[in-house]
């Protein structure tokens, strides 16, 4: 196939499913997982509680739960549900699993700092991500069973997970960036092609929260006490 032939293709030619099929994936995974979604909600609320406890072990546990959420949403939704109808999603699913592994490694090899974060701003942004973003899929599909929960749906997980850069040190945060950014751009392109306009809020929020994570990240000289 010549270069001119490739130029004749658009992104729409590589998306062989419609918006109804895609939105149905959220309903299916929620039906199949019920009632384990309750655990995902508890984890989503528990992570900021653990982060701002005085013990370093609690912070590491919070990061560990975030790592599990990345891996669970990647393997569960992207590999298990989205991958069979769109093979690039499976690649991203394994990238999510690797992202979870990166966070787990950061816990044990100095990738998570012990400095204090501005708790009020972090918690507000976290709750916007885990409590607000899941409902955009409901708005698009018209079905409450399609709610995109943290730890289940990759978009919500990546958006909330973007804030974790505030906890990471030096090079670890730069290793953490690519999956978050690439997934946001990839998912935004898919939503654009499918004309699921409400869903574009989630990848945009992920990129904004990534910037917020850098903004919230403390400098050592701010924590001399």
CA nearest 155: which of 197, 119, 199? 199
Q: In 3-state terms, what secondary structure has residue 168?
A: strand
User: Where do the structural domains in the chain lie, given as residue ranges?
Assistant: 17-216
- Beta-bridge partners for 46: none
Is the CB of residue 37 less than 8 Å from the CB of residue 155? no
- State the pLDDT at residue 222: 47
Residue 34 has a CB neighbour count (10 Å cut-off) of 10
Q: Which residue is it, tokens 């699921």?
A: 196
Residues 12-31, mean pLDDT to the nearest whole number: 88
Distance, in Å, from the CA atom of 30 to the CA atom of 161, rounded to the nearest integer, reads 21
Please write the tens of the pLDDT for every residue from 30-39: 999 999 999 9
What sign for the dihedral angle of Cα 57, 157, 70, 46? Answer: positive
The backbone torsions φ and ψ at residue 157, rounded to the nearest 5 degrees and listed phi first, read -65, -45
Residue 220: the pLDDT is 54
pLDDT at residue 5 in the model: 47
Q: Please, which pLDDT band fits residue 118 given cuts at 50, 70 and 90?
A: confident
Sole residue written with tokens 């950014």: 181
Interatomic CA distance for residues 108 and 129, integer angstroms? 27
- Average pLDDT in the chain: 90
Q: Shortest CA distance to 43 belongs to which of 71, 79, 20?
A: 71
Q: What is the pLDDT of residues 171-191, one digit of tens each?
A: 899 999 999 999 999 999 999
Cα three-residue angle 204-222-56, rounded to 5 degrees: 80
For residue range 49-103, list pLDDT tens digits in order.
998 888 888 888 999 999 999 999 999 999 999 999 999 999 999 999 999 999 9
The pLDDT score that the predictor gives to residue 211 is 95
Q: Higher-confidence residue: 221 or 79?
A: 79
| 168 φ, ψ (degrees, to nearest 5) | -100, 155
Radius of gyration of the chain (CA): 18
Q: How many CB atoms are located within 10 Å of the residue 136 CB?
A: 23
How confident is the model at residue 15, as a pLDDT? 75
Q: For 108-128, what is the mean pLDDT?
A: 89
Q: What pLDDT digit, counting tens, does each position of 121-160 carry? A: 999 999 999 999 999 999 999 999 999 999 999 999 999 9
Site of tokens 């590491």: 60
The overall pTM is greater than 0.85: yes
What pLDDT is attached to residue 53? 87
Residue 170: band (very low, low, confident or very high) from pLDDT cuts 50, 70, 90: confident
pLDDT at 113: 84
Residue 14 has pLDDT above 70, yes or no: no
């Amino acid at each position: 196939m010549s270069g001119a032939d490739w130029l004749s293709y658009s992104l729409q030619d590589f998306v062989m499913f419609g918006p109804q099929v895609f939105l149905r994936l959220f309903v299916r995974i929620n039906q199949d997982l019920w009632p384990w979604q309750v655990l995902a909600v508890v984890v989503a609320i528990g992570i900021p509680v653990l982060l701002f406890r005085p013990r370093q072990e609690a912070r590491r546990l919070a990061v560990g739960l975030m790592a599990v959420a990345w891996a669970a949403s990647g393997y569960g939704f992207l590999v298990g549900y989205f991958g069979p109808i769109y093979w690039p999603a499976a690649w991203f699913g394994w990238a999510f699993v690797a992202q979870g592994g990166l966070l787990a490694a950061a816990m044990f090899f100095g990738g998570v700092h012990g400095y204090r974060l501005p708790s009020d701003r972090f918690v507000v942004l976290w709750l916007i991500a885990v409590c607000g973003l899941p409902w955009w899929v409901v708005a698009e599909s018209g079905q409450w069973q399609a709610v995109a929960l943290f730890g289940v749906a990759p978009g919500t997980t990546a958006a909330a997970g973007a804030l974790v850069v505030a906890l990471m040190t030096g090079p670890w945060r730069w290793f953490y960036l690519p999956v978050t950014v690439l997934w946001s751009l990839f998912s935004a392109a898919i939503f654009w092609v499918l004309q699921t306009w409400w869903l574009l809020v989630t990848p945009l929020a992920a990129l904004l929260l990534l910037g917020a994570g850098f903004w919230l990240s403390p400098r050592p000289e701010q924590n001399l006490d």
